[in-house]
A and B are shown apart, each in its own frame.
Chain A
Amino acid sequence: MSATHADSHAHSLAGPVSFSMPGGARNLAIGLSVLGAVLLGAGAATAGDHGAWRVFADLLIAAFFYTSLAIGGGVILAIMHVTRAGWSTVVRRIPEAVVTWLPMALVTMLVVGGLGMHHLYEWSHPDIVANDHLLRHKSVLLNPTWYYVSTVAIIGLWVAFTFKLRANSIAQDSDGNEGHTGSNMVLSVIFLIFFGFSMTVGSLFWLMSLEPHWFSTMFGVYQFAGAHKAAAAVCTIILAMLLSTGQLPQANANHLHDFGKMIFAFSTFWAYIWVSQFLLIWYANIPEETGYYILRQDGGWMALFGLNVILNWVIPFFVLLPRPNKRNPKVVVPVAIVTLLGLWLDVYLQVMPAASQFAAHHHKLDLHGVVFGPGEIGATLLLGGGFILVVLKMLGKASLVPLKDPYLQESLHHQQ
């Protein structure tokens, strides 16, 4: 019906818009990984006695950070399908590439959990659990079996859902079947409902159980908020790269603007959840809950605790508030990078104080204050190089523009 109208001013899409990873990006990614491995080795060598906990804490930070980015991309993708978004079709291959890190996310989380469990998680020591009333009761869930089952089931299903979304989208390029759009919408609804529960359970095992006596009922939402805004930042950076090199001439500042809005909105959502979690615990002032924040405000952690809010909310909010800034790659890309640093610091602040406290107790180590060194940077760069390689490689596996998507014309003419 409206096809004839759309065709009357159609942009010509002669064929697939191809992309191949620039050699510079490949070399950069490999270089980052090598540098990361060296730094992680240096960190391990200087960690001193019983230093293994430090290496696994570093790896947990990095593994969870990139898992967040990948699943955040999956959520952005699913929301595009559920809302039948018209603006996003021309840039949808970007989140479809970001989710392809998820199989590696499963591998990295299992390696960290499998090899590092006894170094990180107090509840994995039967002798400690036996003498701890609370942990004995929690051991119904907090035990290695459930940790592995949940990790495999949750990330495994994330892979299944997001790869099916990606496969349907790519299949439509060749067969032009509009049914793929409908099935992706249904699939996305189911995925988003599952994601809400699974992110809560997953983050409970991976991060919250680092301090098994502590609990927060909004922990899963908090992880989701951080993941969503950081994934939007990754999509923004990739889109800005494609725009600046002219590889995606069908997209323009209007699409960049929308990703910028997503960073802006979900930074604010993150701040909302951050305040909510903090406020309830601060107000109630119950020792078993406040321990989490006291640990993170003492011994030099306070500066990072404040910096966390500045990087994750203050800078994105005030810089991205004016409209022109969201449309300018020179502004929005640095803010996206700040946002990524913010998520990293956020994950670091959840893992490292808890892990160092447990190590100090368990090994009778003299650990006080901020623990930061080459190892923390190294683990993140090591996996970061892999993340860049996987995502850019998979970005080139299909046309950069979904060729026969029914919303393509709307997306090409998107204006705001």
Chain B
Amino acid sequence: MSSHADAPAAPDKYLVGYFVEDDEIVAATKASRQAGLPIYDCYTPFPVHGLEAAQGLPRSWMTYACFLLALTGFLSSMFLQSYTQAIETPMWSGWPLNVGGKPFWPLTAFVPVLFELAVLFAGVGTALTLLAFLRLYPGQKPKFTLPGTTDDRFAIVLDTGASGFDENKAREVFGRHGASEISWVAPNR
């Protein structure tokens, strides 16, 4: 496993620590940051609570995307319903209907569709935004091949290309937190 132990830190190689418990990877990530080790990313089979904080990642902007998408759905729905039911101009017009003597622009009746389109845009849009941002689309190759990280193992990948990378310190920190394996990985090209 440690055949590369003496290899110089090359930018095309990354040092990976594997763990078998989610608690271990959170603790190891915290310790790695404290030791000044450059964390490239963590890979886990499921979302681990507290890992983002341990990595020191900033708050995701995905919630703002979700809100804006919901707003887009809301406004689209308002336009759709207003145009089809209420707007009449010489240039273009919808098809105003008299429904039981109700007003032609009945906001009360719009509520269900406003709600539904806001939810639809927010739900589908956020999922697509996330996939696009992560560049997860058909034909995409994984950056790394890290055995077990979609099954039952947790991995911390260190960016060994950073200046002053201390491999011995990394091995010490990983080992102290119960790493089951420490090995080098080259990114897929």
Contacts and interface: CB of A to CB of B under 8 A. Distances in A.
A177 to B, nearest CB: 28
Nearest to B63: A323
B49 A282 contact: no
B123 interface: no
A322 B60 CA distance: 12
Contacts of A323: 59, 63
Interface in B53-69: 59, 63, 67
A285 B99 CA distance: 12
A416 interface: yes
A279 B49 contact: no
B100 A285 contact: yes
A415 B49 contact: yes
A331 interface: no
A278 interface: yes
Contacts of B67: 321
Contacts of B49: 415-416
Given A279-B108, A279-B111, A283-B109, 7 more contacts: A9-B23, A279-B109, A283-B100, A285-B100, A415-B49, A415-B50, A416-B49
B32 to A, nearest CB: 19
A371 interface: no
B81 to A, nearest CB: 14
A285 B187 CA distance: 67
B112 interface: yes
Given A9-B23, A415-B49, A415-B50, A275 B109 contact: no
B176 to A, nearest CB: 15
Nearest to A9: B23
B108 A278 contact: yes
A416 B63 CA distance: 15
B111 A275 contact: yes
B63 A279 contact: no
A284 to B, nearest CB: 9
Nearest to A254: B49
18 contacts: A9-B23, A272-B115, A275-B111, A275-B112, A279-B108, A279-B109, A279-B111, A279-B112, A282-B108, A283-B109, A285-B100, A285-B101, A321-B67, A323-B59, A323-B63, A415-B49, A415-B50, A416-B49
Contacts of B102: 283
A139 to B, nearest CB: 34
Nearest to B59: A323
The 5 closest A-B pairs by CB, nearest first: A415-B49, A415-B50, A275-B111, A282-B108, A416-B49
Contacts of A416: 49
Nearest to B101: A285
A254 B112 CA distance: 33
Contacts of A415: 49-50
Contacts of A278: 108
A323 B108 CA distance: 30
Nearest to A321: B67
Contacts of B63: 322-323
Interface in A264-301: 272, 275, 278-279, 282-283, 285
Interface string B111-138: 1100100000000000000000000000
A272 B115 CA distance: 10
A85 B100 CA distance: 48
A402 B120 CA distance: 41
A415 B59 CA distance: 15
A321 B118 CA distance: 15
Interface in A311-352: 321-323
A116 B155 CA distance: 69
Nearest to A268: B115
A285 B101 CA distance: 10
Contacts of B23: 9
Nearest to A284: B100
A279 B112 CA distance: 9
Interface in A119-140: none
A278 B115 CA distance: 15
A285 B100 CA distance: 9
A355 to B, nearest CB: 27
Contacts of B101: 285
A415 B54 CA distance: 12
Nearest to B26: A415
A322 B100 CA distance: 41
Interface string B146-177: 00000000000000000000000000000000
A153 B37 CA distance: 66
A278 B109 CA distance: 10
Interface in A1-18: 5, 9
Contacts of A275: 111-112
B98 to A, nearest CB: 13
Contacts of B112: 275, 279
Interface string B23-56: 1000000000000000000000000011000000
Contacts of A9: 23
Interface in A195-220: none
A416 B102 CA distance: 47
Interface string B55-91: 0000100010001000000000000000000000000
A282 B101 CA distance: 12
B118 to A, nearest CB: 12
A416 B50 CA distance: 7
A14 B101 CA distance: 70
A394 to B, nearest CB: 33
Contacts of B59: 323
